[in-house]
Amino acid sequence: MRDALRVLLGRAIDYAGLFPPAELPMASALEGYAAELRSPERWLLARFVCPAARLAEVGPLLDGLLPPGPPLMLAALGAGAAGTDAFVAGLAAEAAAVEEFVARHRGRVAADQFEVSLPGELIARGDPDAVADVVREAGRTLARRGAAWVLVTLEAPVAGADPVAIEAVIEGIARAGVGLEMDDGWGACFKARCGGAVAAAYPTCEELAQALAACRDRDVPLKATQGLHHPFRHFNRVAGVAMHGFVNLLAAGVLARARGLGSEELAELLADEEPGHFELSDAGLAWRGHAVEIADVAAGRRYAVRSFGSCSVVEPVADLRALGWLDTAEEGA
């Protein structure tokens, strides 16, 4: 396996087996996650995504499904709310639930990520300062409730959205992070949904590229979710929609940061369906003449695209094997 592939995809998948289209029962989802942790592909896995409201279902299953060892890393999912006051109140209750759950299972679980959709009324205002105030409130509420440091991922719709409103959200997240230190116990990133139950839920390459460029310009990392089961952009005949590829997305984050690609070039990269245009070697990553070293790939993963949610690990692995990018003999090395 090439070094650039391991760095680009290492701990990239937040496993979301509880959510559509898989929508597994809790026991089945945890069993699948545990099985992947025992597999040669365990290096791909990051967190187990679980609604804060369902954490109580996890506790009784821990000993039977997960062997003793490192704690189960969780991305807790908040319910969100349409109004800002209800959002803040709900967040406080969910933070307390996370803290209580982690304390009850001390050493067995940790929640170092919290994902939640921003209130619709807040997004519609287009006021970065108002967004920043809410993000700070969220960060302070969640700090040290489930882990020593928590990443708060804040979602706003990208598909069909006003790009000015999205930029205001990203600017607000950036302003909230000014002056933050690790000792503050939290950081924030923007969450982009790349798919859904209907075609209209899939952002265009141009919309996703604009969000990536806005995040890059403001030093705001991005997390993606939904619709990213396959490495490259492709048309899904069953769904009747073109779906984004996770290699496209991760490479776009790396090259946006390291090479300053504008939104037009990023859209072209996101739309590229040809695996041969992407070179992942021991030296680094390249796409159509834009080349970066391994250190740039690692920095892109840390500061550009942090991870992506997927209800499947089997599909990404199968595709990577079919491409010849994963060699069974090398995976466990």
Q: What are 51-62's pLDDT values in tens digits?
A: 999 999 999 999
Query: How far apart, in whole angstroms, are the C-alpha atoms of residue 14 and residue 224?
Result: 10
* pLDDT, tens only, 189-212: 999 999 998 999 999 999 999 999
Q: Which percentage of the chain shows pLDDT scores above 70?
A: 98
Residue 5 confidence class, pLDDT cut points 50, 70, 90: very high
Does the pLDDT value for residue 18 go beyond 50?
yes
Query: How far apart, in whole angstroms, are the C-alpha atoms of residue 238 and residue 260?
Result: 36
CA 235 to centroid of chain Cα atoms? 22
Does the pLDDT value for residue 331 go beyond 70?
no
Query: How far apart, in whole angstroms, are the C-alpha atoms of residue 105 and residue 59?
Result: 7
Query: How far apart, in whole angstroms, are the C-alpha atoms of residue 295 and residue 280?
Result: 13
* pLDDT, tens only, 255-309: 999 999 999 999 999 999 999 999 999 999 999 999 999 999 999 999 999 999 9
For range 151-175, the mean pLDDT: 97
* pLDDT, tens only, 77-86: 999 999 999 9
Q: Kind and range of the H or E element at 45? A: strand 45-51
pLDDT of res. 77: 98
Q: Using the 8-state DSSP alphabet, how is residue 60 labeled? A: G
Q: Kind and range of the H or E element at 85? A: helix 84-104
Query: How far apart, in whole angstroms, are the C-alpha atoms of residue 5 and residue 116?
Result: 30
Domains and CATH numbers, the chain: 3-331 (3.20.20.70)
* pLDDT, tens only, 79-135: 999 999 999 999 999 999 999 999 999 999 999 999 999 999 999 999 999 999 999
Does the pLDDT value for residue 332 go beyond 60?
no
Query: How far apart, in whole angstroms, are the C-alpha atoms of residue 164 and residue 125?
Result: 11
pLDDT of res. 328: 64
Q: Which percentage of the chain shows pLDDT scores above 90?
A: 92
* pLDDT, tens only, 306-318: 999 999 999 999 9
pLDDT of res. 239: 81
Does the pLDDT value for residue 333 go beyond 80?
no
pLDDT, the chain, mean: 95
pLDDT of res. 152: 98
Pairing, β 284-287 against β 290-293: antiparallel
Angle (CA) 208 210 215, round 5°: 95
For range 222-228, the mean pLDDT: 96
pLDDT of res. 79: 97
